[in-house]
Chains A and B, each alone.
Chain A
């Protein structure tokens, strides 16, 4: 049977793939995509936790679903903001290679 632990493992695996993407990609857009992947991995975890826990009586627990809606909303807003920043930097540096974004060094 499917247990909660399987969904947790899936979520962790997706999260680590996303983490690898954040740390190891050179293009800013790919980093943003990997951040999205991390967020969605967390969504899966919340839905699974909600599915495997019974609410009062026979009702399903809706806590996970509500949190997921929140996270999707926030992810959308954040990606919009991030893409705007990327566009701004691209106008200055004509590249999205994060290796070349070192203007803030001491």
Chain B
């Protein structure tokens, strides 16, 4: 376990090597990153087993009194702020191995491995194959660093690095102007949230005096922090989480981020980077639970995000956009669960959603590879052309919709249980609406492309190489089996709830009434979807025409992009031009060019005294002498 720091380092070395020699070994540029990840996965599995078996005995591992879980901390000294010898503040560089970081890091490594193997087939003919793999290696290194780091400074560095890799990979095909714009949009919107994160981290430094997370938790647990400080710090950290995890109103970048290659969407925008926000809230949970108001805000924003995005997903035409909105909806659900004190449920849903959504995105990548088009209304009847993809896609979609026995069912069930227990009836009803909508749009995404009437000619569809199907198969196996982890965690006497919990272990017990209501609502949504899209019952057609106004608003994504464009045009750009004016006139023209200009003008005036005529010189000498004499008399004598 003490070798966990090797995982990001090996991937970083792979990044450097691939970016240097990637162009020369173009077709084989995938070797270094994939090998690095396989090594990382090996180290991770060793570490995981070591943690599960002997975490109560190792000297670095201590049961945290705040979170209740056993965390193992390995750190080295980094820098000391202040004069050595006097009072200094020491900062350490280290990583912490506890169930939360193990879960998120495991998800990241595993999905990354699958995506990178998949990309061997998907990105095969791309001229910048080497650069793609180098940025993927950098991304994995930063994501593992983020998941493992134990102090906020390192977390912030890793946070920015994953944002950078997202920018580079979204704009990977920079020949397309849409991709460039989408990359800029993603970076800018997440940057807005990152400002909040930075200010929050600085506030933590001011309050606690250290960047270390356990120092923060013990400070909070000792009760020294005032409530408004707790509220503001958690609020600022939540701003950062909102930016990265595409919560309302920062959600606008994620659908446009689909301009990037599909494996990138599967890795970054489904499973790992967007999970970083949820991870941050979960990591700083001791801070959040101290503030009731903040938990309520987290729940409300999660709820708004979830339902809003689910509605847009129901009318979405492009398959990847629909999956993006579904991701936003599920991220909202995770935030809602965290706000409703459902810690275990949220992380379990993070993992289940990560596997399932990655599977779905890779499935859409298969469709893209075959027929080069993602418009749902122009597909139909794909099950005859892509039978394997159909099965795998259905597994992922049904898991997210909440079919029992698949992993999404267990995690969604736990989420609903926490919401019902800890929040009032309004939240419960809204979550039922959410369950209905998520089932509805998933059925829509299954029926129309795969089982509908064939809308076009598939005779020149490309065949799918095995290297693309095998990772999807492995992911599908995980999707199916992962749910059982909720019930029985290997190496532990009972469920996932005793592995990852907040303050006391929660054993899994099925609440039959809540589970049955959820199941009934899901089946109702399936029925509604079937009737809507397969049978095309006329009641629903009139429903569509009657609600045309609302549907238009939803289809236009609630006009958020237009609102932001107006804000940018009317407010941001004038302020920016004002600042540019300051920089151009005050700093450049007056401050820098000014002295040179003045010197030149004075010089061109003075140079006229060099006339060459002696009496002028003599006159100047005499008058200078007289002036000096007067000055001497005045200053010295009087």
Footprint of B on A, CB under 8 Å? 19, 22-23, 98-99, 101-106
Can you list 25 A-B pairs with a CB-CB distance of less than 8 A?
Answer: A19-B622, A22-B618, A23-B615, A23-B618, A23-B619, A23-B622, A98-B613, A98-B615, A99-B613, A99-B615, A101-B612, A101-B613, A101-B614, A102-B611, A102-B612, A102-B613, A103-B612, A104-B610, A105-B610, A105-B611, A105-B612, A105-B613, A106-B607, A106-B610, A106-B612
Residues of chain B lying within 8 A (CB to CB) of residue A99: 613, 615
Question: Quick one: closest B residue to A102, CB to CB?
Answer: B612
CB distance from A89 to the nearest CB of B (A): 11
Partner pick for A98 among B607, B614, B622, CB 8 A cutoff? B614
A23–B617 CA distance with the chains assembled, in angstroms: 10
A99–B614 CA distance with the chains assembled, in angstroms: 7
A23–B612 CA distance with the chains assembled, in angstroms: 15
Question: Quick one: closest B residue to A28, CB to CB?
Answer: B614
A105–B611 CA distance with the chains assembled, in angstroms: 5
Footprint of A on B, CB under 8 Å? 607, 610-615, 618-619, 622
A101–B615 CA distance with the chains assembled, in angstroms: 10
Residues of chain A lying within 8 A (CB to CB) of residue B622: 19, 22-23
Residues of chain B lying within 8 A (CB to CB) of residue A102: 611-613
Known pairs A23-B615, A23-B622, A106-B607; list 17 more (Cβ under 8 Å): A19-B622, A22-B618, A23-B618, A98-B613, A98-B614, A98-B615, A101-B612, A101-B613, A101-B614, A102-B612, A102-B613, A104-B612, A105-B610, A105-B611, A105-B612, A105-B613, A106-B610
CB distance from A86 to the nearest CB of B (A): 12
A51–B302 CA distance with the chains assembled, in angstroms: 107
A106–B614 CA distance with the chains assembled, in angstroms: 13
Question: Quick one: closest B residue to A103, CB to CB?
Answer: B612
Residues of chain B lying within 8 A (CB to CB) of residue A103: 612
Residues of chain A lying within 8 A (CB to CB) of residue B614: 98, 101
Residues of chain A lying within 8 A (CB to CB) of residue B611: 102, 105
A98–B618 CA distance with the chains assembled, in angstroms: 11
CB distance from B70 to the nearest CB of A (A): 86
Question: Quick one: closest A residue to B610, CB to CB?
Answer: A106
Question: Quick one: closest A residue to B613, CB to CB?
Answer: A102
Closest 3 CB pairs of A and B: A105-B612, A102-B612, A104-B612
A101–B614 CA distance with the chains assembled, in angstroms: 7
CB distance from A34 to the nearest CB of B (A): 10
A106–B613 CA distance with the chains assembled, in angstroms: 11
A106–B603 CA distance with the chains assembled, in angstroms: 13
Question: Quick one: closest B residue to A19, CB to CB?
Answer: B622
Question: Quick one: closest B residue to A98, CB to CB?
Answer: B614
A99–B612 CA distance with the chains assembled, in angstroms: 10
A99–B616 CA distance with the chains assembled, in angstroms: 10
Question: Quick one: closest A residue to B614, CB to CB?
Answer: A98
A38–B614 CA distance with the chains assembled, in angstroms: 18
CB distance from B480 to the nearest CB of A (A): 93
A103–B611 CA distance with the chains assembled, in angstroms: 9
A104–B614 CA distance with the chains assembled, in angstroms: 10
CB distance from B498 to the nearest CB of A (A): 94
A23–B613 CA distance with the chains assembled, in angstroms: 12
CB distance from A85 to the nearest CB of B (A): 12
Residues of chain B lying within 8 A (CB to CB) of residue A22: 618, 622
Residues of chain B lying within 8 A (CB to CB) of residue A104: 610, 612
A104–B622 CA distance with the chains assembled, in angstroms: 20
A44–B127 CA distance with the chains assembled, in angstroms: 98
Residues of chain B lying within 8 A (CB to CB) of residue A101: 612-614
CB distance from A82 to the nearest CB of B (A): 12
CB distance from A8 to the nearest CB of B (A): 15
A22–B612 CA distance with the chains assembled, in angstroms: 17
A22–B617 CA distance with the chains assembled, in angstroms: 11
CB distance from A95 to the nearest CB of B (A): 13
A106–B622 CA distance with the chains assembled, in angstroms: 22
Residues of chain A lying within 8 A (CB to CB) of residue B607: 106
CB distance from B379 to the nearest CB of A (A): 85
Residues of chain B lying within 8 A (CB to CB) of residue A105: 610-613
A69–B83 CA distance with the chains assembled, in angstroms: 68
CB distance from A38 to the nearest CB of B (A): 11
Residues of chain A lying within 8 A (CB to CB) of residue B618: 22-23
